[in-house]
Amino acid sequence: MASSYDNDFVILSCANPSPIEYKEILISTADIHGWDLPTNLRYQTLKIKALRSRLVEQSSYFHGLLSGSFSESNLETVSVQWNLETFLNVLNFLYGHTLDVTSKNFLLLFEVNVSIT
């Protein structure tokens, strides 16, 4: 049985459709300031351990997904079907980094609806 500590975290799993060098990696948002984006983009599957509460507070997308009536709200691992690079950039933003909005990622970021406040 999972402890309440385990329920504080969620594993976000995101697949990379681009050419792949490595199979899978598990990284944590606790180490987000040291992430190497080019290296992370070489993996077929990225699994990211994140604080559920932080995601819910910072993004209406994650609020609906992780605390709403979706079946994912009670899962320990949630599959995220996004462009991997945009997904990692959004997580970086939610953890205090700047977010570069471009014509390539604008619509994807709009769908996520991150809170800028």
d(CA 42, CA 27): 13
Q: pLDDT tens digits, residue range 54-108?
A: 998 888 888 888 887 777 778 899 998 888 888 888 898 888 888 878 887 787 7
CA 89 from chain centre, in angstroms, equals 9
Residue 110 pLDDT: 76
Whether 116 has a pLDDT exceeding 70, the answer reads no
The SS3 call for residue 64 is: helix
Q: Where are the domains of the chain?
A: 9-112
Residue 5 pLDDT: 46
Confidence class for position 113, pLDDT limits 50, 70, 90: low
Residue 112 pLDDT: 64
- What percent of the chain stands above pLDDT 90? 33
Average pLDDT, the chain: 83
CA 3 from chain centre, in angstroms, equals 22
Query: Tokens 């500590």 appear where?
Result: 5
Q: For 9-112, which CATH class?
A: alpha beta
CB 73 within 8 A of CB 67: yes
Whole-model pTM: value is: 0.79
Residue 115 pLDDT: 47
